[in-house]
Structure 1
Amino acid sequence: MKFKDLELSNCYAPPPAPSLPALPITSWLLLPQRVTVEVRVAQVASGNYLFLQQHTHPTFHALRSLDQQMRLCYAHPSCPALPAPVEVGVICAGQMPEGAWWRAQVMRYHQDSREVEVRYVDYGGYDTVRIESLRQIRSDFVSLPFQGSEVILDNLACLPEEEEFSASAKAALEELTQGASLLAQVTDFHTSGIPLVQLWRKEGSEVVSVNQALVERGFCSWINAP
């Protein structure tokens, strides 16, 4: 009261937190280019398109703990819902069967139907869900790099008489990779920016090319890089 001209506002007040965290490219655990790494398949989307995880990377072990923390957090109905309209690229929490919650990225929002297309950033795959089923994500839940790598098998094309890879090709890829010890190497990039990879399956002391195995079994054609 005595020093009326003294400024006493709190200069150390933290800036207001953003309403929703966005997705910087550094958040992804990227596959190194031209380096062979151990991987496992998180999900097969089609006969040449799948999601990989680097399960030997030092950050991967923390994913299970994160899953448990998110399950406990979002079991409470008071967790804030994702506000509409939602911005494309935002990270949120998506509800899965049996009480699990996965980190997801908003890819598209349909305002008329209030449906959101999301990509699951750790376990791969796309889905369309109601916006009411999504929740805002806690800032500490985005500190772990996103573990799912979206890839396309290099040198493969669907058969000449087909317009896309068949369901049989997808089933064959699932059979070749399920529970297998795998190696992957990024050899190039698709025009969409998705990495093109060579994938190998370890069978005892031998290493078998998954890409070539699909061709040899008659599910797709081999094309050479231009």
Structure 2
Amino acid sequence: MTSIDLNSDLGEGFGPWPMGDDNAMLGIVTSANIACGFHAGDPAGILKVLKVAAERGVVVGAHVGYRDLVGFGRRNMDPSSEELVADTIYQIGAIKGLAKAAGTTVRYVKPHGALYNTIAYDARQAADVITGIKAVDPQLILMALAGAPIVEQARAAELTVVCEAFADRAYNADGSLVSRRLPGSVIHNPAEVAARMLRMVNEQSIVAIDGTVIPLEAQSICIHGDTATAVAIASTLRDTLAARGVTLKSFAHHG
């Protein structure tokens, strides 16, 4: 693999509460997952970050989540299919309108937090999100957890899927992410993160938290924008990959 996409979750501030350094991250990543207002983000802040992404040629995606501002979308929820399909459509519709006003286009959907982790393995909620995406725009690409059942489920439903790896998250031996409630779930050392991802790009594998080597094929690497060392991790990762001849570019066209 000679090229890889770097993505980050942006637009997650809410009114006067900032979250992460969106401007710095937009100088590093090639794709930006923009909050849609359900787990984070407010319209003025979302529009602002979309405008900067458009100026810098960063591809944008809809970061749809559960309607849970207080829990930042990280709490498990069990909406009905009727709700989840409509919630998915509603969030994509909102960001499509804001993106148009900002002079860019939404190219993909990356579910957020608990929704992302649930639909990776929960076929019913996955089907609802897939249905919602297809109802709005079947050309949208779905970004999903590498190796999870949703990848084949979405492809069977004729969506294009991009698989992603998490730069700063520890993995279990089965390829799932280590729960944030457990120690060691988030990796804060930029050099360690860069070494892990260089291995993933070159060897399509990663070392799980118990030391086992697991296969991991991904076309995109996620860097969380809300951790204290996020910008340092992102820039170290970008520089390390570039120094080893890996081209950094989005899986979709900016437009």
Higher share in helix? 2
Looking at CA atoms only, which structure, 1 or 2, has the larger radius of gyration? 1
Higher share in strand? 1
